Structure formats: structure tokens, C-alpha cells
């Protein structure tokens, strides 16, 4: 039977790109075979956790609590306090507190967080629990206290842990580490004064401890209460524990092997742990690090310390295999890819005006039900608080088939995490940071990566080029996200999006680039029939204009042999715009397209109408190359967003589909409109452009076909995971490791990169655009390569699956030397028109996959 799979744990797809010829995998099938995919996957249900559960590290000691909370305590001399923050259900400006402390409103924080990050985001959830507690109990306030001690408590918050490279490693705070701490407690009004004047003494007096000494102490904490500790030290974890890894045989499409893996790693830096009490028996523990660095990484090849590395045939699941004519050690590949991923994850930083800025990242987060799991749960919680994550990770992986396990892992550095998991740094589970971010409107955040600041989380490429005053450019962006409905753990959703934007501009437009973009956009969303209809009226207007207001050649200097100059009378054009018969063609053209666009949704109708209006307006005004300065300043920006379904549709199209779209585009933009009297004239122009370009169009079709097949294979592999691992318990967020098989083993290892499978699909979509654009440079026609790439793709996806925008910026001002009255008379103005299909669902900012930032733009 296929058991349900969990979300936000590491399922890895290992994709091997290689130049070598395809070879057959020669290892024996040990775990079974589904079709052509061989399985070497070990289920952690049978893993003995005794080597971890036998370790007892305890909680905080009475000695530590006394040292912090008594006036004669050993740590009192080195304590430095921040001003406490007081929170009530609602703000009360009439409430006077000692030393003019402000009472802040939890209801404002909760509503603001829900609007900004959603109801299910942890910050929203925790503060909603606090608000509920104050509204339903005798407590009146939550008080948040923060302090730093210069004296180290490392010896009481660290221990020696085995299982890392065969040696014992000290996990927890360094012996001499200075500590920063935050404590949040609920209190009645009569106890508020003592909490503000002597917070640690008051906390210990009210409940017997500052930091919990036993599981009973944690259970006794009130919903919403929390504590956090930060200082220099080391933490240990198993990254990618139990991760199925699909392996591709180079040169083929699809996956040939699936294995499981786990990598034991040690990370040093400014480490922190935060525990918050939720309702019932639940607590959340978030472990993070600032200025972190991976110290050691070892892929497990045995059954020990939380990693199930032995398959049912008695061999290591991470075995050596033959791929691309080379013997490839999967252990080394996985080890190196995870090491690189963790270190890159650690190098992110988020700064915002809500705080002074922080490079702190949440490395992993757990939800623990204290009444479940017996003694193992207490041991896991003890070890979590002292920075050994392995037992909690192993219990989660062991209990995947349980609907409500004792330990639930939200994410780790190798698994899915969205922007909101780290927006608030060390103060993640506090309250004051949210007050500054939401209530005071200071919560704009910037993500700082090794390559610089990026305000949006996606793989992004932007380029521009041009000559003299003519400029063109584009941006293309691949975005990935993974999400799940908490009420249905098997409802995993993996998404890839592609955003494309093109820009064409000219300070003094003297050619048809604007019309080319508009016709291509109309064809893409409404079809060639609409363009053909506009040809009847617009091209006739253009011919009439050139006939009635022709360019004149005049000789200068007298006589028949003097030089000639060209002249054109703009006033003739202005007068023509008052001719009802002439301007009536525009009205007739706009009316004629209505039956052709009746099937479109209202906002797409509006988009096509606006584009058609701009086209006919431009065709009613004369623009001449010999008098470029009299042309208007125009910038045309077109944008389309392909959601996950749109990319699936795009990848399903055939080579013939693409060729038809490409040839239609060339016909739409390469014909001289004054000479086009029917559809055959456009067709001949397109065929001529294709012929003049050699095999470029055919080669672009081959590029499209190859990338589309690759995308389909990736998508199919994700969807087939339950069948591929039938009978195995697994988790649902797939990853992908990419590397090149070659003779130099060191280079092969260094080239290993890990992504989410969704991100890998997004990268494939961006590579499709990039490779098509590169080849489109070979088209022998007056067009820009990015347009020849973008518009045919737009044509291949139905409008209901797209989000499209058209922006036209104009400058029609006249001067003493430059006359542009005709453009004002014709009604050429700025416009922004957007349309979103009913079935389009693009990824929102809070869902962007942070791994998308790991790979630099190519």
C-alpha cells in the first residue's frame, strides 16, 4: 500500500546532465522496480533510534535560573536589559504605566499580520493565540523582556554528541559565549509593575523558573509564552533525512533510479533557539543561525544516529552506479550538493526597516505534541533546545504514516521555505518586531544574497540593447513554489511560473516597432483573424494618408540640377483627421473586431480593444524616417505571466504547433502594412522572412521540442512519485540535484547543485526562453530576438491561462522645430491595460521558493 506522504520534508530528484553517451544501469534491483525506475529506497519506519534516545541532556538547571534571577546571582553583574514591551488586547491611551511604558495592541498586530502574511503564517498564529488568551482568561497583559549577559552559560547549555564524522562534537553554546535572551510571559495587572522593574526576578517568582527545567515546566507555560536564547556555538542536524533521490541516466529523459539519503552536518555561528507555547499540548521550536557556516557534512551509509542508510539488500542505498560511461559515487554527490545548499542558505540575509537588519535564518522548525511519543518526545525536546536536531528529525521521519505525530518538522535548510519564514530574524516568535513591522508600517524587507540584494525571490535575467535613440530590452523570470493544504497532507502542490516582459522604445519613433508589438500581442491573445480584420481598416487608412498627404521633394538653389530635400506637411495630416470618412474607418475597424473577440473574457476584450485602438491611431498619423524628430516618443511594454498550468500547456505543444505560431508571428510583423490587402500578402512576407533566415525557424522549433519534452518528463516524474515508491512512506516536496558526469571526480562533485523540483521546472522554462532568444538572433528580419521568442509562446497558451499587460508611454509634445500636433489630434495617449485569465493562478510573493535565489542568472 502507498502510505500518505508529508509536506516540507526533503524529497530529492537527482538530475544528471552529461555529455557522455547513455549507458544502462548495471546494479541489481534490491528494493523493487516500477517500470524502468529502479528503487534503492529505505523506509525509516524500521530504524532503531536507541543511539539518540539514550542520550540525556536535560533542560535548564536550577543553578542557571538562580544565577539569572537573584540579586546575588553569578550572572547578575553582566546583565544588560532592554526596555520591556507591554501588550494588551487593545491599545489604551488612558492607561498610565510606570516610566511611561506604552501599551501596544495585539489586535492590530494580528489583523495586520493576517493581511500581510496570511492566517496560517506562524507569526500570525502565535499572536492570535496570545490575543485569545488575554480575552478569555484573567491575565491582562503580555510582557516581552530582552536581556544580554556577558558571562557565558555555555557549560550548562551544551553537550558532547556522537555521530558526526565518527567523532564527538560539542553542540550548543560555546563556553565563553555572551548570550542574548527574550522572555515573554502573561500577567495580571497587579503583577505588571514588578515585571517592568525586575523582569527576571518577577518571572521566577511567579512560575518558579526563567528557563524551563522539566517537561512539566514547559507544559505549565501559558499559551503564547515563549523564551529564546542566542549566542556563539554549534548545532547538529541530519539534512535531507530519508530523502528519495531520483537519478537520470545521462542522455535520456526521465529517471532510472530512486535512492534514499541523509547527510549529518554541523553548523557554527550565532545560533539561537526559540520555544513558544501554543494551545493544548503543543509547542513550536525554531532553531536558527546568523553568520552561519557549515563545519562538516557526511552522508550516512549505515543505520545510525537517525539516518536509515542501508537498503533491504544489505547494501548502502547511496551506492556506486555507472552513469554516462563513468562510475559515479552517489554518496559524494549527495554530500557535496547538500553542503553547498546549506552554506548558500546560510549566506542569505534579510534586512528591513522593521529592525536593524539580520542575516539570521531559520534552519529548522518543529511542532511538538508533549503528550504523545512517550519518553522519546521529552528526549527530542531536550536535544532540540540544546541544538541537536537529529532525534526530532528522525521521529518525524519514522512517524510519517501517523496523521498527528508527536513531532512534526516544518522545514529545514534543504527543504521548502518561503519568504515569511525568516522576515523577522531572532525576534520571530516575539511581539515587538511585529508591532514595528505591521502597526508602524516599517516592515518592508529586502533579501540579501551572495550576489547582492534582490527584492523579489526568483531566478531573474534582464538585458537591454539598442542603437542611437532606439532601445529594446527584456526580462524573464522563473519562480517556483511548493505548498500544501494543512487539512489534507497529501494535497501537495508544486508550482513553476515564468514571467516575461519586453520593452521597445524610441525617443522619436520612425518605424513600425510599436505596431509590430501590438499586432503580435493581439494575435497571441485573440488570434490572427482579429489582426486580419484590423488590416482591412487600418491599412486602408495608412494608404489614404500617404496618398492625400504625400512626401514632396523640393529642389534647393534653383534650376533643375540643384539638390533635393524631402518635405512633409503635418497640417495636411491634422486636417485629414477632421475628415469624417477618414476617421470613420477607425470607428468601423473597432466595431468590426467585436464579433471576433466575443469569446474572450471581459478584461481580455478590453486589452484587445485598447491594443486595436492604439494600432489604428498610429496608422492614422504619418511617421517618416527622413524626419525622425517629428515622430512621437513611444515605449511599448508587453508582459505575460505563465502559471503552472500555462507552462504545462506550453510543454504539451508539438513541433508543428510551434512552427505554426512562429510563422504566424513572422507574417504578423514582417509585412509592410500598406502593401497588405489580404491574409495571403502577410503569409508571403512571413515565408520570405523564414526563407531568408536559412534554417533558423526550424532550429528554434527543435529547441522548443527538446525543452518541452524535458519539462514534461520532469512534471511526469513528480506526479508519478506515489506509484514509483508504492508501499513506501515518503514526503512530498521534491528536490533536484544537478551535476555533469565527467572524468574529473573533483569537478563533478564541485558542480553538484540542489534545487526543488519545482525550481528545476522553472529553470527549464527560463532556459527555453534563453535558448530560443539566442537562436532568434539569426532571423533575417526587422525585429528583436526577444519578441520573436516571446510572442509565439504567448500564442500557444489559451488566454484563460495567462496574465497579460500592455503599457504604452508616449511623448507627443511639440516644439518650435518639432511638430507633433497630429498625434494629439488622433488621441495618442499613455495607457496601461491588464488582463488575467479566469484559470490563471500565479505565485504570490509569500510563496516564492528561496532556493530560486541560489542559482545565479545565466
Coil, strand or helix at 753: strand
**Cα(708)–Cα(650) distance, rounded to whole angstroms?**
7
Coil, strand or helix at 300: coil
**Burial annotation 145-162 (CB, 10 A radius, 16+ → b, else e):** bbbebebbbbebbbbebe
pLDDT at 571 over 80: yes
Domain ranges of the chain: 45-449, 463-693+779-853
Average pLDDT over residues 411-431: 48
**Cα(123)–Cα(117) distance, rounded to whole angstroms?**
9
**Cα(374)–Cα(223) distance, rounded to whole angstroms?**
22
- β-strand partners of 470: 467, 506
pLDDT at 14 over 80: no
Give the model's confidence band at 478: pLDDT under 50 very low, under 70 low, under 90 confident, else very high: confident
Coil, strand or helix at 178: coil
HSE-up of 217 (CA within 13 Å, CB side)? 22
Average pLDDT over residues 303-311: 91
pLDDT at 581 over 50: yes
| Residues 448/422, Cβ–Cβ less than 8 Å | no
**Cα(130)–Cα(91) distance, rounded to whole angstroms?**
15
Which tens digits make up the pLDDT trace of 109-128?
Answer: 555 444 444 445 677 788 78
Alpha-carbon Rg for the chain in angstroms = 33
Task: Please give the pLDDT value at position 94.
Answer: 67
pLDDT at 673 over 90: no
Coil, strand or helix at 402: coil
Using DSSP bridges, classify how beta strands 103-105 and 85-88 pair: parallel, antiparallel or unpaired: parallel
**Burial annotation 281-295 (CB, 10 A radius, 16+ → b, else e):** ebbbbbbbbbebebb
Task: Please give the pLDDT value at position 11.
Answer: 32
Within 10 angstroms of residue 714's Cβ, the number of other Cβ atoms is 27
- Residue 602 has φ and ψ, to the nearest 5°, of -55, -45
Q: Measure Cα distances from 762 to 648, 649, 843 in Å.
A: 11, 14, 12
Number of residues that make up the chain: 858
| Residues 333/752, Cβ–Cβ less than 8 Å | yes
pLDDT at 622 over 90: no
Q: What is the DSSP secondary structure assignment for residue 316, as one 8-state letter?
A: B
Within 10 angstroms of residue 692's Cβ, the number of other Cβ atoms is 12
- Residue 207 has φ and ψ, to the nearest 5°, of -130, -5
Task: Please give the pLDDT value at position 255.
Answer: 64
Which tens digits make up the pLDDT trace of 152-207?
Answer: 665 678 999 999 977 789 999 998 888 888 888 999 988 888 888 888 888 998 99
pLDDT at 855 over 70: no
Range in 199-203, 461-465, 614-618, 624-628 the model is least confident about: 461-465
Of 74-88, 213-227, 351-365, 396-410, where does the model show the most confidence?
213-227
| Residues 240/298, Cβ–Cβ less than 8 Å | no
Q: Which of 194, 155, 4 is nearest to 74 (CA)?
A: 155
Within 10 angstroms of residue 72's Cβ, the number of other Cβ atoms is 8
| Sequential DSSP letters for 580-649 | HHHHHHHHHHHHHTGGGGTTS-HHHHHHHHHHHHHHHHHHTS---GGGGGGSPEEEEEEEEEE-HHHHHH
Coil, strand or helix at 451: coil
Coil, strand or helix at 221: coil
Q: Which of 240, 382, 73, 309 is nearest to 752 (CA)?
A: 240
Query: Cell for 343?
Result: 552554506
Model's pTM, two decimal places? Answer: 0.77
pLDDT at 710 over 50: yes
Range in 22-36, 62-76, 211-225, 255-269 the model is least confident about: 22-36
Q: What percentage of the chain exceeds 90 in pLDDT?
A: 35
- Residue 22 has φ and ψ, to the nearest 5°, of -70, 135
**Cα(108)–Cα(612) distance, rounded to whole angstroms?**
47
pLDDT at 108 over 70: no
459 vs 174, higher pLDDT: 174
Q: Which of 551, 554, 571, 563 is nearest to 627 (CA)?
A: 551
Q: What is the DSSP secondary structure assignment for residue 150, as one 8-state letter?
A: S
**Cα(802)–Cα(640) distance, rounded to whole angstroms?**
7
Q: Which of 234, 304, 295 is nearest to 262 (CA)?
A: 304
- Listed in sequence order, the residues at least 6 apart from 333 whose beta carbon sits closer than 8 Å to its beta carbon are 14, 737, 739, 748, 749, 752
- Residue 792 has φ and ψ, to the nearest 5°, of -60, -35
**Cα(704)–Cα(55) distance, rounded to whole angstroms?**
56
Task: Please give the pLDDT value at position 728.
Answer: 77
Which tens digits make up the pLDDT trace of 245-301?
Answer: 777 655 556 567 777 888 999 999 999 998 989 999 999 998 988 888 888 989 888
Task: Please give the pLDDT value at position 704.
Answer: 97
Q: Measure Cα distances from 347 to 363, 483, 570, 759, 760 in Å.
A: 12, 24, 61, 19, 21
| Residues 135/89, Cβ–Cβ less than 8 Å | yes
pLDDT at 620 over 90: yes
| Residues 172/187, Cβ–Cβ less than 8 Å | no
Amino acid at each position: 500500500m502507498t502510505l500518505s506522504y508529508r509536506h516540507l520534508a526533503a524529497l530529492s530528484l537527482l538530475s544528471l546532465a552529461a555529455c557522455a553517451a547513455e549507458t544502462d544501469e548495471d546494479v541489481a534491483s534490491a528494493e523493487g522496480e516500477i517500470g524502468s525506475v529502479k528503487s534503492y529506497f529505505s523506509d525509516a519506519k524500521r530504524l532503531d533510534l536507541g543511539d539518540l534516545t539514550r542520550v540525556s541532556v536535560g533542560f535548564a538547571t536550577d543553578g542557571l535560573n538562580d544565577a539569572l534571577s537573584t540579586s546575588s546571582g553569578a550572572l547578575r553583574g553582566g546583565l544588560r536589559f532592554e526596555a520591556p514591551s507591554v501588550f494588551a488586547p487593545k491599545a489604551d491611551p488612558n492607561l498610565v504605566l510606570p516610566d511611561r511604558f506604552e501599551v501596544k495592541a495585539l489586535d492590530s498586530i494580528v489583523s495586520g499580520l493576517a493581511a500581510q502574511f496570511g492566517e496560517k503564517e506562524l507569526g500570525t498564529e502565535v499572536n492570535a493565540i496570545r490575543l485569545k488568551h488575554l480575552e478569555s482568561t484573567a491575565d491582562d497583559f503580555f510582557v516581552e523582556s530582552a536581556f544580554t549577559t556577558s558571562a557565558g552559560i555555555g557549560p550548562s547549555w551544551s553537550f558532547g554528541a556522537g555521530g558526526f564524522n565518527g567523532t564527538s562534537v560539542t553542540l550548543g553554546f560555546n563556553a565563553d559565549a555572551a548570550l542574548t535572551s527574550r522572555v515573554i510571559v502573561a500577567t495580571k495587572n497587579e503583577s505588571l509593575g514588578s515585571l517592568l522593574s525586575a523582569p527576571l526576578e518577577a518571572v521566577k517568582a511567579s512560575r518558579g523558573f526563567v528557563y524551563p527545567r522539566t517537561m512539566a515546566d514547559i507544559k505549565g507555560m501559558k499559551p503564547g509564552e515563549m523564551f529564546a536564547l542566542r549566542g556563539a556555538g554549534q548545532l547538529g542536524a541530519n539534512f535531507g533525512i530519508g530523502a528519495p533521490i531520483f537519478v537520470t541516466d545521462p542522455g535520456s529523459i526521465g529517471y532510472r533510479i530512486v535512492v534514499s539519503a541523509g547527510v549529518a552536518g554541523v553548523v557554527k555561528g550565532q545560533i539561537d533557539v526559540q520555544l513558544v507555547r501554543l494551545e493544548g499540548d503543543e509547542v513550536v521550536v525554531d532553531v536558527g543561525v546568523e553568520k552561519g557556516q557549515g563545519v562538516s557534512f557526511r552522508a550516512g551509509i549505515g543505520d545510525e544516529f537517525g539516518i536509515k542508510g542501508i537498503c533491504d539488500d544489505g547494501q548502502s542505498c547511496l551506492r556506486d552506479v555507472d552513469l554516462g560511461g563513468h562510475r559515479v559515487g552517489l554518496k559524494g554527490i549527495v554530500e557535496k550538493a547538500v553542503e553547498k545548499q546549506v552554506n548558500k542558505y546560510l549566506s542569505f540575509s534579510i534586512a528591513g526597516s522593521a529592525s536593524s537588519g539580520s542575516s539570521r535564518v531559520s534552519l529548522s522548525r518543529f511542532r511538538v505534541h508533549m503528550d504523545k511519543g512517550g519518553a522519546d518526545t521529552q528526549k527530542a525536546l531536550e536535544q532540540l533546545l540544546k541544538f541537536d536536531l537529529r532525534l526530532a528529525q528522525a521521529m518525524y521521519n519514522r512517524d510519517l504514516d501517523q496523521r498527528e505525530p508527536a513531532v512534526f518538522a516544518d522545514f529545514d535548510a534543504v527543504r521548502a521555505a518561503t519568504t515569511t519564514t525568516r522576515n523577522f530574524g531572532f525576534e520571530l516568535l516575539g511581539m515587538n518586531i511585529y508591532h514595528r513591522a505591521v502597526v508602524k508600517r516599517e516592515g518592508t524587507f529586502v533579501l540579501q544574497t551572495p550576489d547582492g540584494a534582490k527584492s523579489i525571490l526568483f531566478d531573474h535575467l534582464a538585458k537591454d540593447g539598442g542603437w542611437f535613440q532606439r532601445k529594446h530590452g527584456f526580462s524573464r523570470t522563473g519562480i517556483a513554489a511548493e505548498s500544501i493544504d494543512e487539512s489534507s497532507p497529501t494535497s501537495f502542490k508544486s508550482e513553476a511560473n515564468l514571467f516575461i516582459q519586453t520593452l521597445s522604445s524610441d525617443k522619436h519613433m520612425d518605424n513600425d516597432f510599436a505596431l509590430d508589438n501590438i499586432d503580435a500581442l493581439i494575435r497571441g491573445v485573440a488570434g490572427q483573424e482579429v489582426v486580419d480584420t484590423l488590416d482591412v481598416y487600418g491599412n486602408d487608412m495608412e494608404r489614404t494618408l500617404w496618398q492625400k498627404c504625400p512626401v514632396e521633394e523640393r529642389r534647393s538653389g534653383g534650376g533643375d540640377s540643384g539638390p533635393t530635400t524631402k518635405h512633409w506637411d503635418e497640417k495636411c495630416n491634422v486636417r485629414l483627421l477632421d475628415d469624417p470618412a477618414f476617421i470613420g474607418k477607425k470607428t468601423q475597424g473597432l466595431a468590426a473586431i467585436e464579433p471576433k473577440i466575443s469569446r474572450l473574457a471581459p478584461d481580455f476584450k478590453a486589452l484587445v480593444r485598447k491594443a486595436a485602438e492604439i494600432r489604428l491611431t498610429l496608422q492614422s498619423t504619418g511617421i517618416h524616417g527622413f524626419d525622425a524628430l517629428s515622430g512621437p516618443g513611444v515605449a511599448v511594454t508587453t508582459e505575460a505571466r505563465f502559471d503552472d498550468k500555462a507552462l504545462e500547456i506550453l510543454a504539451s505543444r508539438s513541433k508543428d504547433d510551434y512552427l505554426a505560431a512562429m510563422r504566424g508571428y513572422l507574417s504578423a510583423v514582417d509585412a509592410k502594412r500598406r502593401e497588405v490587402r489580404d491574409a495571403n500578402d502577410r503569409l508571403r512576407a512571413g515565408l520570405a522572412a523564414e526563407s531568408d533566415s536559412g534554417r533558423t525557424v526550424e532550429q528554434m522549433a527543435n529547441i522548443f521540442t527538446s525543452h518541452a519534452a524535458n519539462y514534461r518528463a520532469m512534471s511526469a516524474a513528480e506526479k508519478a512519485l506515489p506509484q514509483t515508491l508504492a508501499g513506501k512512506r515518503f514526503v512530498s516536496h521534491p528536490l533536484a540535484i544537478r551535476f555533469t558526469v565527467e572524468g574529473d571526480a573533483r569537478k563533478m562533485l564541485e558542480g553538484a547543485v540542489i534545487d526543488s523540483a519545482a525550481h528545476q521546472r522553472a529553470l527549464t522554462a527560463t532556459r527555453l526562453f534563453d535558448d530560443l532568444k539566442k537562436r532568434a538572433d539569426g532571423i533575417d528580419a526587422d525585429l528583436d530576438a526577444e519578441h520573436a521568442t516571446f510572442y509565439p509562446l504567448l500564442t500557444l497558451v489559451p488566454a484563460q491561462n495567462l496574465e497579460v499587460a500592455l503599457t504604452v508611454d508616449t511623448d507627443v509634445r511639440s516644439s518650435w522645430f518639432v511638430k507633433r500636433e497630429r498625434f494629439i489630434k488622433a488621441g495618442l495617449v499613455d495607457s496601461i491595460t491588464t488582463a488575467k485569465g479566469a484559470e490563471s493562478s500565479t505565485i504570490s510573493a509569500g510563496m516564492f521558493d528561496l532556493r530560486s535565489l541560489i542559482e545565479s542568472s545565466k
